Structure 1
Amino acid sequence: MSSPSEFFESRWQGSRLLLTAYLSCQVLALFAVWVSALPWWLSLAATAASVAHACWAIPRRILLTHPHAVTGLRRDLLGWRVFTCAQGWQPVRLCRDSVALPGMVVLRFVREGRWLGEGQCVPWDALGADEHRRLRVRLKFSRRRWAEVGAIQG
């Protein structure tokens, strides 16, 4: 019986499927705001907030074109790390509410030195089928996946 390797790396790209779902929800939300009985100024503020969120979320979380977008996950002897073009590999602690489903992986993590968690959705069309399966399996069955950053030493 062989022991599993401590090294794992996965990189993904932006998702057109996630973009379609996000834009559909945005259109429905804007339609609901404009047909509601809200005053015009409140509808305008809600529309501006919705557009601002889209301008922030689409490059950072969906299409992954922003330099700070998380585009990779690595497991090595030092623990889990996420990759961004702007900062390279950064140590993280995976959160227990990460989810690995056949159609998508919702990766929840906290970067070293921060309090608030972050998330990244990796749908099936962001990776090849085999690579997506390997990511799901590694997240479900990895030893010490919830360990603190820096707590794992070779």
Structure 2
Amino acid sequence: MSNPSDVFECQWRPSRCLLRLYLLVLALAMPAPWLADLPLWSKLLICALLLVHAAWLLPRHILLSSPQSFVGVRRDAFGWSLQRADGTWQAVQLRPDSMALPLLVVLRYRLPGQRFSRGLCIPRDALPTEQHRRLRLRLKFSRRRWAEPVASASE
């Protein structure tokens, strides 16, 4: 695992548990404005914003049906890369606030040239058990896991 030329790669699928959790939270959030003492226009605005958020988030982060969705991760001699649904790889810098827990992996990353970090949630049911365990081990014990990505020869 400490050999920098050792390549690790895995692809995940949409998580049913994450979908159920998001829909449950959305179902609880939708009636909340109607229980509050708010004007009608703000209740409608809040519900519209919740639906817009769901329409944006579901295909990109939960159903993984958008071409911009990340569906895989790779660690090689050039650093960490994320795979988009369209098959392209994007070099990323992992952030120290990434977490590797038995139930889920939270990948915090920053794209080169961007200021802010982003995050990915990879639940246990999105990967085979052995792949999920190997990903957690890579995140916990890889050398230089927070390093900037190195430009590859193909770029």
- Distance between the aligned counterparts of 1:71 and 1:117, measured in 2? 18
- Distance between the aligned counterparts of 1:94 and 1:149, measured in 2? 9
- Distance between the aligned counterparts of 1:47 and 1:139, measured in 2? 38
Counterpart mapping for 1:103-114 below 5 A:
103-114=103-114
Q: 1:19 to 1:103 in 2, by over 3 A?
A: same
Letter in 2 for 1:115: R
Consecutive unaligned residues of structure 1, counting only runs of 5 or more, are none
Which deviates more from structure 2 when the two are superposed, residues 143-152 or residues 24-33?
A: 143-152
Give how far 1:10 is off: 1.1
The normalised TM-score by structure 2 is 0.92
Aligned match of 1:130: 130
Aligned match of 1:38: 38
Aligned match of 1:8: 8
Count of residue correspondences: 152
The normalised TM-score by structure 1 is 0.92
- Distance between the aligned counterparts of 2:151 and 2:136, measured in 1? 23
Which deviates more from structure 2 when the two are superposed, residues 2-11 or residues 45-54?
A: 2-11
- Distance between the aligned counterparts of 1:17 and 1:101, measured in 2? 16
Q: 1:3 to 1:22 in 2, by over 3 A?
A: closer
- Distance between the aligned counterparts of 2:85 and 2:135, measured in 1? 20
